[in-house]
Amino acid sequence: MLESIVHVCLAGLSIGMFIWLVASGLTLIFGVLKVLNFAHGTFYMLGAYLCYWVLGRMGENFWLGLAIGPLVVCAAGFLIERFFLRHVYHLALPYQLLLTFAFVLIFDDAVKILWGAGSLGSPNVPGLSGSISILGRNFPLYSLFMIAVGPLVALAMWTFLERTWWGRIIRASSSDREMAAALGVRVPALYTAVFVLGTWLGALGGGLAVPYVGLLTPGMGEAIIIDAFVVAVIGGLGSLKGAFFGALIIGLLSSFGTRFLPTFDMFLTFILMAAVLLWRPQGFFGEAK
Amino acid sequence: MILKATSINTYYGGSHILQDVSFDVNKGEAVGLLGRNGVGKTTTLRSIMGLTPPRKGSIVFKNTEIVGKPAYSVSRLGIAYMPDDLRIFPDLSCDENLEIAARLSMLKGYWNKERVEELFPVLRARKKQKGLNLSGGEKKMLSLGRALMANPELILMDEPSEGLAPLIVKNLAEVIRTIRSQGMTILLADQNLKFCRKVSDRGYILEKGRVVYSGAIADIWGNEEVIKKYLVL
């Protein structure tokens, strides 16, 4: 029983860290730009496909694919913010959702045209492809790697936001865009930079998902974006700390749900979200309105 | 002349707030914008800063037309803004609030953190406190200190004396005199004529978005009719 619980916990943590990677970019973008980017799951999908595409051309080197693929997606993020999203900041939320949802449809179809509608297989990762024995049972090494990557990304983001000059500008502008501008911040340029950084985080999550999810499908972004939204809502929209702990909770809940209550697996996540919304509408770490 | 506004017209959505407002400020002067609540004082300052840009008219700062320039370039030209709601960054410490202004500004000058802290010793004691946890008075000093840190040539102050106890208002007048002695030009909007009399040289009285009277502050102070009509409720 104990081994079983330990393994379910580990699996939950690795699922949670995936959701965190996607939710982190979503949260960063919402926290600074106040835009709910529905296309964030699309960046995840593009990150996965481009990582796969690059590594296929670079001698099946996964790490090279992971380094290059998400950077290519950043170019798409840049164009979307600079030429489209920028024009809807002053409009109501539904317009932003509609616009970003349009990009979901466009890129889903683009992926179908470029790589076909079927699923692609996933590669092995040199060095991380086996499994190790934990309490007498095998656990995939790559999942363990993910459990380490998540907190590293969180630490890097925290250091960047709290300890660097750029982080300070971002924190100032996210709390008061107008005053930041009056002090000399080029807010539009900052928004572009933050959007591209958020895009990269989503695409990195997608690239890291390549060996993990086992297959790539054109709709893979929609599945993860729902989880990421749930996590962002539970943690408090715009709060990175909230997204991190929200992702841990959802990961563990879904892992335990699959193991012990398979019929109610999806149900549990949404019950939790509904409960949080009723009891604490601003989320665990969100500020009360 | 450091700032000259000519016939500016500013709107909030459909409402025509400023109607052909003109005024000027000379280098080294302190000029007061007077008038009751809602006559357009804040909108005038926001129009200069580029936060609520005028649709018509011209504002020239040191030979540069600034109508149509975004706020960040107005600030880089040497205009700093102390809003009536102070707008301290809640998530940044007192120190960080000061440093961000100095580093974003490309201008060099007399003011630095030591001198600002000398002017407002309480800011030294609150160094590491988040903006969120400062008192109203501390926020006011920090907001003014932050404006100074940019080493601007002109500071726009919106209702600096509002909400302060009489003794503190007296101190603030002293502080503004100190700032002026370092050559700073000031345009302040304030309802408190007593305070304005202490710190400014000239005044413009606004009423329903128009300039209805202007002159030396001593003349305004001595003109009971004008005071009754436009300033006292």
**Domain spans of chain B, in order of start:** 1-77+185-233
Tell me, yes or no, if A189 comes closer than 8 A to chain B by beta carbon. no
Tell me, yes or no, if A187 comes closer than 8 A to chain B by beta carbon. yes
CA distance B112 to B119: 11
**Residue environment code for A203-213, b if the CB has 16+ CB neighbours within 10 A, otherwise e:** bbbbbbbbbbb
Determine the pLDDT at residue B23. Answer: 97
Q: Which of A216-230, A262-276, B136-150, B214-228 has the lowest mean pLDDT?
A: A262-276
Determine the pLDDT at residue B15. Answer: 93
**Contact by Cβ (8 Å): A169, B100:** yes
Helix and strand numbers (H, E) in chain B are: 10, 10
Q: Which of A165, A168, A185 sits opposite B92 (nearest CB)?
A: A168
Identify the top-confidence range among A82-91, B72-81, B160-169: B72-81
User: Per the CB < 8 Å rule, is B103 touching A165?
Assistant: yes
CATH assignment, B1-77+185-233: 3.40.50.300
Residue B58 tokens read as 């011209």
The residue among A120 and B42 whose pLDDT is bigger is B42
Residue B175 DSSP symbol:
H
Determine the pLDDT at residue A92. Answer: 87
Residue A48 tokens read as 């996965």
pLDDT in tens, chain A (289 residues): 777 888 999 999 999 999 999 999 999 999 999 898 999 999 999 999 999 898 888 877 888 999 999 999 999 999 999 999 999 988 888 999 999 999 999 999 999 999 888 787 777 777 777 888 888 888 888 999 999 999 999 999 999 999 999 999 999 999 999 999 999 999 999 999 999 999 999 999 999 998 888 788 888 998 899 999 999 999 988 899 999 999 999 999 989 888 888 777 778 888 888 898 899 888 888 776 5
Residue B214 tokens read as 């202007």
- Who's near A109: CB < 8 A, 6+ residues apart? A218
Chain-wide mean pLDDT for chain B? 94
**Contact by Cβ (8 Å): B41, B158:** yes
Domains and CATH numbers, chain A: 2-279 (1.10.3470)
B205 exposure class (CB count in 10 Å sphere: 0-12, 13-18, 19+): buried
Determine the pLDDT at residue A283. Answer: 86
pTM comes to 0.89
**Contact by Cβ (8 Å): B83, B158:** yes
Q: Which of B79, B85, B104 to mutate to test the interface with A (most CBs of A within 10 A)?
A: B104
Residue indicated by tokens 């052909």: B20
| A183 CA: distance to closest CA in chain B (Å) | 6
Determine the pLDDT at residue B233. Answer: 61
The residue among A57 and B28 whose pLDDT is bigger is B28
Q: Is B30 left (phi over 0), alpha (psi -120 to 50) or beta?
A: beta
Determine the pLDDT at residue A288. Answer: 60
| B65 CA: distance to closest CA in chain A (Å) | 17
**Contact by Cβ (8 Å): B110, B151:** yes
Residue B130 DSSP symbol:
B
With CA atoms as reference, the chain B residue closest to A163 would be B96
Determine the pLDDT at residue A59. Answer: 76
Instruction: Compute φ and ψ for B56, nearest 5 degrees.
Output: -140, 160
- Is the pLDDT at B147 greater than 60? The verdict is yes
With CA atoms as reference, the chain B residue closest to A165 would be B100
CA distance B172 to A154: 44
CA distance B215 to A206: 67
Q: Is B29 helix (H, G, I), strand (E, B) or coil?
A: coil
DSSP B70-125: -HHHHHHHTEEEE-TT----TTSBHHHHHHHHHHH-----S--HHHHHHH-HHHHH
**Contact by Cβ (8 Å): B151, B182:** no
CA distance A201 to A194: 11
Give whole-number Cα distances, B109 to A198, B70, B148, in Å.
Answer: 38, 23, 10
CA distance A208 to A206: 5
- Chain A residues near residue B66 by CB distance under 8 angstroms: none
| A181 CA: distance to closest CA in chain B (Å) | 5
The residue among A126 and B45 whose pLDDT is bigger is B45
- Chain A residues near residue B106 by CB distance under 8 angstroms: 184
Determine the pLDDT at residue B209. Answer: 95
Q: Which of A118-132, B56-70, B186-200 has the lowest mean pLDDT?
A: A118-132
| A150 CA: distance to closest CA in chain B (Å) | 25
User: Per the CB < 8 Å rule, is A184 touching B49?
Assistant: no
In chain B, the percentage of residues whose pLDDT exceeds 90 is 89
Q: Which of A177, A183, A190, A287 to mutate to test the interface with B (most CBs of B within 10 A)?
A: A183
Distance of CA B137 to the CA centre of its chain: 17
CA distance A286 to A216: 34
Q: Which of A174, A176, A186 sits opposite B72 (nearest CB)?
A: A186
Tell which residue, A218, A207, A224, A225, has the closest CA to residue A70.
A207
Type of residue found at A57: R
- Chain B residues near residue A239 by CB distance under 8 angstroms: none
Q: Region B191-205: what's the mean pLDDT? A: 94
Q: Which of A175, A181, A183 sits opposite B150 (nearest CB)?
A: A183
User: Per the CB < 8 Å rule, is A172 touching B72?
Assistant: no
How high is the ipTM of this complex?
0.92
Q: Which of A171, A181, A184 sits opposite B91 (nearest CB)?
A: A171
Q: Which of A9-23, A266-280, B17-31, B171-185 has the lowest mean pLDDT?
A: A266-280
Size of interface A-B (CB pairs under 8 A): 62
